[in-house]
Structures are given as C-alpha cells and as structure tokens.
C-alpha cells in the first residue's frame, strides 16, 4: 500500500481530521507499518 492509499483510507474517518498534523503523520506511519507486517505474515502462510 502506498502512503497516498493509506491517507485516502484514513481520511474516511472524521477522527482523522481532529488529530494534530504530527499525530496524523504518526498514525500514517503506524498504519503503513502494520499493513506491511500483515502482508509479510500472509505470504508465509499462502500455498506455493
């Protein structure tokens, strides 16, 4: 997932707009990191 895709998803939440810019950046980093970890773990369990 690209950063822009993550921002588009996060912007769907009204809570996102109540956050400070610094908090938004931290949330974006956490969201992208979690997405990467999920995809990495999924690849370990898929059949080859």
* Phi, psi of 46, deg, nearest 5: -80, 150
pTM of the entire structure? Answer: 0.76
DSSP symbols for 1-48: --HHHHHHHHTTSGGGGGS-HHHHHHHHHHHHHHHHHHHHHHHHHS--
How many CA within 13 A on the CB side of residue 9?
11
Q: Distance between CA atoms of 32 and 35, rounded to whole angstroms?
A: 5
Q: In this predicted model, what pLDDT tens digit does every residue of 1-48 receive, in sequence order?
A: 889 999 999 999 999 999 999 999 999 999 999 999 998 888 777 765
């Amino acid at each position: 997932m690209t950063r822009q895709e993550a921002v588009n998803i996060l912007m769907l939440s009204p809570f996102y707009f109540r956050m400070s810019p610094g908090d938004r950046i931290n949330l974006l980093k956490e969201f992208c990191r979690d997405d990467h970890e999920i995809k990495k773990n999924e690849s370990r369990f898929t059949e080859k």
